[in-house]
Amino acid sequence: MKRYRVGIDIGGTFTDLVHFDEESKKFSVVKVPTTPKKPAEGALNAIEKARIEFEDIYMLVHATTLGTNMFLGQEGLHPPKLALITTKGFRDVVEIGRQKRADLYNLFFEKPEPIVRRRDRYEVKERINAKGEVITPLNEEELRKIAGEIRNKGYEVVVVSFLHSYRNPIHEIRAKEIIEDECPNIEVITSHEIDPEYKEYERTSTTIVNAFLKPMMSKYLTALLDALKGRGFKGRFFVMQSSGGISKIDYAIKKPAAFVESGPAAGAVAVAYYSKITGDSNVIGFDMGGTTAKASTVIDHEPSITTEYEIGGKAHAGRLVKGSGYPVRFPFVDLAEVSAGGGTVAWIDEGGALRVGPISAGADPGPVCYGKGNTKPTITDANLILGRLGEKLGGGILTLKKDLAKDALSKLADQLGMSLEETAFGIVKLANTVMAKALRIVTVERGYDPRDFTMFVFGGAGGLHGVELAEELNVKSVLIPPRAGVFSALGLLLSDYRADKVRSVIRSAGDISEDEIERIYAELVDEAVREVSIENAEIKMIRQVDLRYKGQAYEITVPWMNDVEECVKAFHDKHEALYGFSSPDEPVEVVNLRVTAVGVMSKPEVKAEKDAEHEPKPENYRGVYFGDGWMNTPIYARNKLKAGAKIEGPAVIEDYDTTIVIPPNYTAFVDGYSNIRIVRD
């Protein structure tokens, strides 16, 4: 029976399962602890706990943080033995990187350790120039010698990356043949197959990250699928990409580096889907959990995408610090990250100033009020003292220890010479400022003004901060979707099939003909269609071209309009719109051609309940602290709110995995899809 569509997201602490029942047309969720040593087991446990039959699942979409964990050196994950073969003179390209350091003032900084050690990097005589001409033929004899060494040293995967292979891959192709011939049991991956774009460091790095993840991901995914089949699963199995699209398992095995941020990508997909239901065209998705807050932007119901990503990289003020990780040049949902979450610690520095973060008590030991031994007050402790958070969470599963939180915060209050509630309120305000400023920077940087946006707030801690954060940003309205605590996982059920293909051409716009461009597009479309073809799916094909002024290092992407001149015109216009000027007399270069194939999947149909405006009755009242002091505040249970409910602030709405604070002068409305929209009076 084709009854369930299931999404499973394996995170660091919890494995979330979301399923949609085609009979009842309803979503349900299940949370189980992640089983780090045997992640597949957690997935199976979740399905069992959801009480659905494996045979009834017709489609399962999977997301996992395993790829990221591999980079964090998680126990039990074994990195493969890798070798790199590159052009003579260039084996250190991957070690020097872009030559910059990620930390300006720290004299004890480290660059990310090269994934392939220098001793495992081999050079071979060959050279192709920027035009794609062979200026030094591949020295096959030398290569065979290297292949012999590779065989003897027990490497599992070999990466081949030669200069200008994006232009002419002939040497990489030949090298692969030779190594495969000499070493029949060793996997060979070439850079032009994985990332045929120019800039040697980024291309080689992307290829190496793939090689690094491939054996583990292939083993894991195959084992998971086998286990599912063993229990009777007969449906289709998909994996979520970092781009927010889903794909078949073979692509996930071929390019695992395109899947490392699958969980957060699903969150952005869920935001996009709900923004269509609610009719919001500019949305900031704000996801605040235990240790970090993440923000995505969704314009016209499409998540914003970037190709600048570094795995293992660090963020500062919401932005990725270049050079802090390993570049991976695939499409990623563009996420800004701030280290602020429920577990983030408040402290007083040597100069006597109050600071919030970046240290976090995480989920374990967690905030002081969890009673698991942490004594440093956190954002959650401040929310508890302010009455924003109730003492019983999850319908009574967890009881928070308010007295412990008070003790911890009193120490800070004494040092600051402020009252307990002023201190707690200060922590919340400061956390909101830090998050708001970081969000402002990342939206402004992408050319948007947050004032034009609606904010969708989710994640366990999102509802506590969303409204005040929005006020800092001058965002006009806040929307809390249903199941906010596991909202990200919901995106797994709402995605489309997607394949992205790119090719660098780097030619003057006047020098390249439409015919030549169409020829390359035809090849890219062919490759992309092969990846997304699935019965009955409608395929949308998006062709784009990256252009730039000659000599500049940044490109602008415009749609391909079957005419180079038209594209150049569109480029000038977009440059003007983005940067306030354009230079119609300057020569323009065609840098990359891009194809995105989207296989449109059917989506679960969410039905709206009829709404009728009414004022619901609160469950009870408690004192909650807002800027002007304590207020006796009504507390509502979210699961009892019906469509059309209207609640005036101050108020608190409690859900089983999140709490929503509505400050004075704000009103909340519940719509037919159980969304809560909060707007200023």
Asked whether the beta carbons of 627 and 428 are under 8 A apart, the reply is no
Shortest CB 603 distance to another protein, Å: 36
Shortest CB 392 distance to another protein, Å: 29
In this structure, which amino acid lies at residue 128? I
Shortest CB 30 distance to another protein, Å: 40
Spatial strand order of the sheet with 187-190 comes to: 121-124, 82-87, 157-161, 187-190
Shortest CB 154 distance to another protein, Å: 12
β-pairing, 187-190 with 121-124? unpaired
Shortest CB 552 distance to another protein, Å: 5
Residue closer to another protein (CB basis): 444 or 534: 444
Q: Phi and psi (nearest 5°) for 431?
A: -60, -45
Residue closer to another protein (CB basis): 74 or 433: 433
Residue closer to another protein (CB basis): 78 or 117: 117
Residue closer to another protein (CB basis): 508 or 602: 508
Of 467, 396, 403, 456, nearest to 429 by C-alpha is 467
Residue closer to another protein (CB basis): 429 or 603: 429
Shortest CB 112 distance to another protein, Å: 11
- Interacting residues with another protein (CB under 8 A): 89-93, 95-96, 98-101, 103-111, 117-119, 129-130, 163-164, 166, 198-202, 317, 322, 349-355, 416, 418, 422, 425-426, 429-430, 433-434, 437, 440-441, 444-445, 447, 506, 550-554, 578-581, 583
Start-to-end Cα distance in the chain? 49
What is the chain's length?
681
Shortest CB 307 distance to another protein, Å: 15
Of 342, 316, 311, nearest to 327 by C-alpha is 311
Asked whether the beta carbons of 109 and 102 are under 8 A apart, the reply is yes
Residue closer to another protein (CB basis): 41 or 573: 573
Residue closer to another protein (CB basis): 440 or 476: 440
Give the long-range contacts of residues 68-73, CB within 8 A, separation 24 or more: 68/260, 68/261, 68/311, 68/312, 69/12, 69/36, 70/212, 70/213, 70/216, 71/311, 71/312, 71/325, 71/326, 72/312
Which helix (H) or strand (E) covers residue 468, if one does? helix 462-473
Residue closer to another protein (CB basis): 57 or 439: 439
- Residue 164 has, within 13 A of its CA and on its CB side, a CA count of 15
Shortest CB 168 distance to another protein, Å: 12
Residue closer to another protein (CB basis): 56 or 197: 197
DSSP characters for 237-301? Answer: EEEE-TTS-EEEHHHHHH-GGGGTTHHHHHHHHHHHHHHHHHT-SEEEEEEE-SS-EEEEEEETT
Asked whether the beta carbons of 422 and 413 are under 8 A apart, the reply is yes
Residue closer to another protein (CB basis): 198 or 233: 198
Shortest CB 101 distance to another protein, Å: 6
Asked whether the beta carbons of 469 and 432 are under 8 A apart, the reply is yes
Q: How far apart are CA 62 and CA 223, in angstroms?
A: 13
Shortest CB 147 distance to another protein, Å: 16
